[in-house]
Amino acid sequence: MTIVSRTEDLQILLAVIDSGGFSAAAQLLELQVARVSRAVSRLEAELGSTLLNRTTRRVELTEEGRQFVATVRDGLHQLETAEEQLRAQRGRPAGRLRVDAATPFLLHQLVPLVPDFRRAYPEIQLELIANERIIDLLERRADIAIRIGTLDDSNLHARPLGRSPLHLVASPAYLAAAGRPDKIAQLERHTLIGFADAPHLNLLPFAEPLQVHPQIASSSGEAVRQLCLAGQGIALLSNFMVCGDIESGRLEKVLPGQLQSPNPREPVQAVYYRTAAVSPRVSAFLEFIDGRLHL
């Protein structure tokens, strides 16, 4: 088997794993199911090991398959990076760039930069993926993820983009109807909007942190913002998503100066897979957004 055909079989194997089955992988890759099945079987025969347990409903990696696939992902990623760097020496950065971030960051920070970025790098096909949860970059085939808050140790490289202060905010209509709290204790008499299934996001960073149980909750930060704009209550949100609302008067700060800063929810970082050399596409994107974000 040639290196090219072996690489193709490995890419097909990853597609089966990531999509959850042979049929889904065939549709994703625009191949016949039989070809996908042959590619996996060929790899298993050459390796002398079963990589996938097949059932009528799904496929699962064997223990040997998990170890093998982890190394394959790393190797293919480095191969793609090496090829891209070689091409970049002859021209401008090119190819697909997949950027993952929470919906509010995409809408309020990245989308406004797209027109200028595309003019600067027309050969890069930019994909902006909204995801409210932390993802595995390689499994989701993302090149960069924007993460808010303190990062756990990982095999990812993190590039700090800045800090985004937190604000308690509410609409003028809500404050006119419910009154403006001037003490922390008065928050108990107000409707609080928060995050579903994420208690750490409902911890208000006062000098003595206050864990709140919101009367209205959502898994989406953008939904929380929209509820605030609609006059439904008070919420704790990052400056990067409400700075324009505050400047325009659509939202007002509540208990200004009472929140502790810096705090663990303020750091904004771009994370990407740690390799010996950074992809030219990744470098181009990070250098472009540096200094253009309004955090």
Residue type, 211: Q
Name the CA dihedral angle for 180, 242, 208, 152, rounded to a multiple of 10 degrees.
160
Task: Tell me the pLDDT band of 26, cut-offs 50, 70 and 90.
Answer: confident
Report pLDDT digits (tens) over 162-173: 999 999 999 999
- d(C-alpha 220, C-alpha 131), whole Å: 10
Mean pLDDT of the chain: 87
Residue 295 has pLDDT above 70, yes or no: yes
The confidence score (pLDDT) of residue 157 equals: 82
Least confident of 105-114, 144-153, 281-290: 144-153
Mean pLDDT of all residues in 52-75 = 79
Q: What percent of the chain has pLDDT over 70?
A: 88
The domains of the chain, with CATH numbers, are 3-86 (1.10.10.10), 92-163+266-289 (3.40.190.10), 166-253 (3.40.190.10)
Residue 95 has pLDDT above 90, yes or no: no
- d(C-alpha 98, C-alpha 80), whole Å: 14
